[in-house]
Chains A and B, each alone.
Chain A
Amino acid sequence: MPPHQPADRTPASVVDALFRRESGRVLAGLIGRLGDFDLAEEALQDAFTVALEKWPGDGVPDQPAAWITTTARNKAIDRLRHGRRQGRRRLELEALARSVSSAGADSQEENALSPIVDDRLRLIFTCCHPALAAEARVALTLRTLGGLKTPEIAAAFLVSPAAMGQRISRAKAKIRDARIPYRVPGDADLTDRLAGVLSTIYLIFNEGYSASSGDRLTRSDLCAEAIRLGRLLAELMPDESEVLSAVALMLLHDSRREARVDEGGSLVLLPDQDRSRWDRAQIEEGMGLVAKAWRMGAPGLYGLQAAIAAEHARSVDGSAPDWERIANLYGLLETVNPSPVVRLNRSVAVSMTGRNEEALAIVDELLADGGLAGYRYLHLSRGEFLARLDRYEEALAAYGNVVRLSENQVDRSFVGKKLADLQQRLADGPGPSP
C-alpha cells in the first residue's frame, strides 16, 4: 500500500496511540498471568505487529485493546510451542497461557479490558526494584508502563538505541535470573519501596525539567510522561500522601516550564518570570493535592517539597511568597533529607527574607565542605548574595565559576547577562553603600 494514502494512516495512528495508552496495562496483565516478563513483552510486540498488518485492510476492531490482549495471549502460546524455552518451565508456561486463553474466551470481552489495577502496581514495583540500577529502573519503567519505545528512551537520555536496548535487556535478565518478584511489597517494606518508585518517577521528571544538555523538545516529553506515571500511581494508591505530594510537586514545577526560558532561550529566575505564562490549571490541581496530602498526616520528603513549590505558586495572583515559611520548610526538609542541595536552597530562602549575611554563611560553609564545589547553582547563588551585599568583585569571581562549570547554553547566556551587569556597576564606581 502506498505510504501516504489516508486510508492506511488512520489505523496506523490508532495503533500508535493505543500502544502509548494501553500497552502498560495489557503488558502488566500478561506478565501477571504468565509470570514471564520477556514472553509477555514479545507477545505484546507480536500483537501490535499483527494489528499494523491487519487493521489497514480489515478496519480497526470495536474493542482494540481487548483485541490486542487476546492476540497477545495467542502469540504467547505460539511462541511457547515454537520457541527456545525448554523442559519443565515450557510445560508450565504453556499450561498457564492456555488457562489464560480459555478464561478470556469464557468471560466477557470487557473483562479482559477491565483495569487490572493490581498488575500495573506490581509492574511498577518490579521495574523500580532496588536490586536494579537507577538508570535501568528509569528505562524499564518508561518502556513497560510508559509505552515508550527503546529508540525514544535512548533519544531522551542521549545514548544510542543499541546501548539503551542493552540496558533494558540486562535489567530484564536480572528480573528473570535473580527472580525479582512481581508483587506489591508487604507493609514492612512498603514505605522504603514506595520511596524507590517515587524517586524513579521524579528522576524521569527531573531529567526532562533540568536538562544539562540536549534537545529541549524530547526532554519536555519526559516531564509529561513522569506526571502521567505519577497520576497512575496516585490512582492505584490513593491513600499514600507521599504519592499525591509527588504528583503535586511535579505539576507545580511543570506549571512554570514555559516561563523558565525567554524567547532568546535564556534562563529566567523565578522572581523575574512572567506569571501570565504559568499554567493555572496545573497550579490549581497541584495546590489542591498539596492541601489534601497535608491533611493525611505528617509530610515527608515530597510533602515538604510540594509545600515549598505551592508557596512559590501562590505568587501567580501577585501575592508575594512567604519566604520565612519557605526557609522553615527547607529547615524541616533538611531533617528528612540532610543533603547539601537542600541547605543551598534554604540559603536562597534566607537571603530572600533579607538576611544576606546569614545566607552567605550557609553557602560558604557548603563550599568549605567541598561536596558541592563543582555545582554551578552554588556559585550562582553565592554570586547573587555577594551582589546583594554590594561585594561586586567577589560576585564577579563567583559568576566566573558558573560559566566555567556550565555545559548548558541557556545557563551560560543567563550568567553572561549577570556578568555584563556587574561589570557595568563596577565601571560606574563604588556601590551605593560604603
Chain B
Amino acid sequence: MKYLLILQGTEGEEQANMTPDQMIAAMEPWNRYTQELVKAGAFLAGEGLYPSASATTVRHVEGGDRIVSDGPFAETKEQIGGFYLLDCADLDDALAWAKKVPVGPGSAVEVRPVMDFTDFGYETPDATTPTG
C-alpha cells in the first residue's frame, strides 16, 4: 500500500542564507533517512520543494475558467516543504517512518493513504512502480 508523507513546516530564511558547506551538512540527515527507506524497500519517491513564494496556483472554477494566481493553496504560516511517497504494509508502518523524518521541531508530517485504481483499469506509470 502506498502512502504519501507530506512534510509541513514554517518557512524560514535559513536555507537562502546558507553557505554550500552548510547546505551539505543540512542535507546529511535527509540522505541518511532516504537511504534507510531505500534499504527497507519502502522508498518510491521523495523530493524537497522550493518555498511557497515560488508557488503558482491554478484554480478550476465553475464555467470552465482556469484562474492562474501567485501563491500556494492557502497563505498560512505552515507550508508544504517536501514529500515522500512510500510503499508500506499498513498505517503503523507508515507512521513509524513518519516519526523518523528529520524535520525540525514545530514541523508536522501528514500521512495520506494513496488510492489504488489498478482494479479499475488505471495503470500506474513505471516511474512510480516498485520493482516487479
Q: Please tell me if A316 contacts chain B, counting CB pairs below 8 Å.
A: no
Cα A86 to Cα B95 with chains together (Å): 29
CB contacts (< 8 Å) of A181 on chain B: these are 89-92
Interface centre among B90, B91, B120 (most CB of A within 10 A): B91
Are A180 and B119 within 8 A (Cβ)? no
Q: Is B1 positioned at the interface, with any CB of A under 8 Å from its CB?
A: yes
Taking a contact as CB atoms under 8 Å apart, the answer to whether A131 and B95 are in contact is yes
Rounded to whole Å, the gap between the CB of A185 and the closest CB of chain B is: 7
B51 near A: Cβ within 8 Å? no
Interface of chain B residues 79 through 118 with chain A (CB within 8 A): 89-92, 95, 111, 113, 118
With an 8 Å Cβ cutoff, the count of chain B residues facing the other chain is 11
For A86, what are the chain B residues with a Cβ–Cβ distance below 8 Å?
Answer: 119-120
Q: Which of A131, A178, A189 has the most CB of B within 10 A?
A: A178
**Contact (Cβ within 8 A) A178 B119:** no
Question: For the complex, would chain A's binding face be called helix, strand, loop or mixed by DSSP majority?
Answer: loop
Q: Chain B residues with Cβ under 8 A from A129's Cβ?
A: 91
Give the shortest distance, in Å, between A172 (CB) and chain B (any CB). Answer: 14
Closest A residue by C-beta to B88? A179
Number of A-B residue pairs having CB atoms within 8 Å of each other in the complex: 27
Is A185 touching B120 in the complex (CB atoms < 8 A)? no
A404 within 8 A of B: no
Q: Are B119 and A177 in contact (CB under 8 A)?
A: no
**Which residues 205-261 of A sit at the B interface, judged by CB distance below 8 A?**
none
A173-213 residues at the B interface, CB under 8 angstroms = 177-181, 185, 189
- A83-98 CB contact bits vs B (8 Å, 1 = yes)? 0001111000000000
Residues of A within 8 A of B118 (CB): 88
Are B113 and A179 in contact (CB-based, < 8 A)? yes
Chain B binding surface, main DSSP class: helix
On chain B, the residues within 8 Å of A177 by CB distance are 113
Residues of A within 8 A of B92 (CB): 180-181, 185, 189
Do residues B90 and A87 form an inter-chain contact, with CB atoms below 8 A?
no
Q: Which residues of A in the span 138-195 have a Cβ within 8 Å of any Cβ on B?
A: 177-181, 185, 189
Contact with A179, one of B1, B119, B120 (Cβ below 8 angstroms): B1
A88 to B120, CA, bound (A): 10
Inside 8 A of A179's CB, which chain B residues have their CB? Answer: 1, 90-91, 113
A235 to chain B, nearest CB (A): 25
Check if B119 sits within 8 Å of A131, measured CB to CB: no
Q: Which residues of B contact A87 (CB under 8 A)?
A: 119-120
B122 to chain A, nearest CB (A): 11
Does A89 lie within 8 Å of B119, measured CB to CB? yes
Question: In the complex, what residues of B have CB within 8 A of residue A185's CB?
Answer: 92
- Report B2 CB to chain A, min CB distance, Å: 10
Q: How far is the CA of A181 from the CA of B89 in the complex (A)?
A: 9
Contact across chains for A180 and B120 when beta carbons are under 8 A apart:
no
B93 to chain A, nearest CB (A): 8
Chain A positions 43-101 with a Cβ under 8 Å from a chain B Cβ? 86-89
Q: What are the 5 closest A-B residue pairs judged by CB atoms, nearest first? A: A87-B119, A181-B90, A178-B113, A179-B90, A178-B91
Known: A179-B91, A179-B113. 19 other contacts (CB 8 A): A86-B119, A87-B120, A88-B118, A89-B119, A129-B91, A177-B113, A178-B91, A178-B111, A178-B113, A179-B1, A179-B90, A180-B90, A180-B91, A180-B92, A181-B89, A181-B90, A181-B91, A185-B92, A189-B92
Residue contacts A-B, CB under 8 angstroms, 26 given: A86-B119, A86-B120, A87-B119, A87-B120, A88-B118, A88-B119, A89-B119, A129-B91, A131-B91, A131-B95, A177-B113, A178-B91, A178-B111, A178-B113, A179-B1, A179-B90, A179-B91, A179-B113, A180-B90, A180-B91, A180-B92, A181-B89, A181-B90, A181-B92, A185-B92, A189-B92
